[in-house]
Amino acid sequence: MKIAHVRADAINAPVDFRIAGVRRESQRAACRFGIGTDSGGPGHGPAWIAVEEAIGAIVAGIAAPA
């Protein structure tokens, strides 16, 4: 079985919340990645690291087919 394709999607979602009556704004960042094989087997998973674009590039660069 060989890796046929890799996909990495950067996700950045705004989050609003209140603490002690004070409104705060923040963001939650992640990278969702998927890998497909030449035999049709899929795989996917999250990477919860603050720099989602960097993780996407790393996943695509390391796991991409040669």
pLDDT tens figures, 5-61? 888 787 778 888 888 888 888 887 777 778 888 888 788 777 665 565 666 677 667
pLDDT at position 19 is 81
pLDDT at position 51 is 63
CA nearest neighbour of 32 among 22, 44, 18: 44
pLDDT at position 47 is 67
CB atoms within 10 A of CB 31: 23
pLDDT at position 63 is 62
Binned at pLDDT 50, 70 and 90, residue 66 comes out as low
C-alpha distances (whole Å) from 63 to each of 5, 8, 31 are: 9, 10, 14
